[in-house]
Amino acid sequence: MRIFFGLETDSDTRRALADWRDRYGIAAGRAVPAANFHITLAFIGEVDNRRLDTLCRAVDALEPGPHGGAGKILLDQVGYWPKPGIYWAGPSQPAPELAALARKLQHVGGMVGARLEKRPFAPHVTLYRGCTEPPPAPAVLPAITLAYAHFTLFESQLGRQGASYQALEHWQLEP
């Protein structure tokens, strides 16, 4: 199965992002279904059940309080990356706690064979895929707060309708 760690979006955040996208964030590409909005923390890739178990137990065994705390990030900028062809919303300010968590999860992923991510962590919610051209600059930037109190291990399944994500396990973050 194909798995990754990420932050879920709650229904209010999903709705706010989808509303902003409908009004201001139009791009030539495939709109990601709002149900799929998330922030990837660490992409792991293909694992079998044994490695999945090893991975989960390694996350369980991280020191107490290791995951940093619960927090929030303000999604107040958008960007376009031509290589993956995605248009996204993300924070304009650095998110050091989230970056530390992402690093830790990438490191744990390395123990089950995940490729180490060389690019610096850039938290983002993908709004469109398959964008071959830069989207027009939006008239109004988003200003949407995503609050998070846990992170999630997702399975990504590719179907005829595109990707869908199933939450396999959650880990709470300190309040």
**Residues interacting with ligand 2AM, by CB under 6 A?**
4, 40, 43, 86, 126, 156
| CB contact at 8 A, 90 and 83 | no
Nearest approach in angstroms of CB 47 to ligand 2AM is 13
Cβ proximity to ligand 2AM: between 65 and 161 the closer is 161
What's the min distance (Å) between Cβ of 163 and ligand 2AM?
6
Q: Nearest Cα to 43, choosing from 129, 111, 102?
A: 102
Q: How far apart are CA 160 and CA 148, in angstroms?
A: 31
DSSP three-state, residue 49: helix
Minimum distance of ligand 2AM from residue 25's CB (angstroms)? 15
Nearest approach in angstroms of CB 84 to ligand 2AM is 6
Beta carbons within 8 Å of 79's beta carbon, 6+ residues apart: 87, 88, 90, 124
HSE-up of 13 (CA within 13 Å, CB side)? 23
Kindly tell me which of 13 and 126 has the beta carbon lying closer to ligand 2AM. Answer: 126
49-60 vs 96-110: helix crossing angle, rounded to 10:
140
Instruction: Select 63 or 169, whichever has its Cβ closest to ligand 2AM.
Output: 169
Looking at the Cβ atoms of 46 and 174, the one nearer to ligand 2AM is 46
| Cβ–Cβ under 8 Å, residues 81 and 134 | no
CB closer to ligand 2AM out of 130 and 174: 130
Unique residue bearing structure tokens 């968590």: 101
CB of residue 156 to ligand 2AM, shortest distance in Å: 4
SS3 58: helix
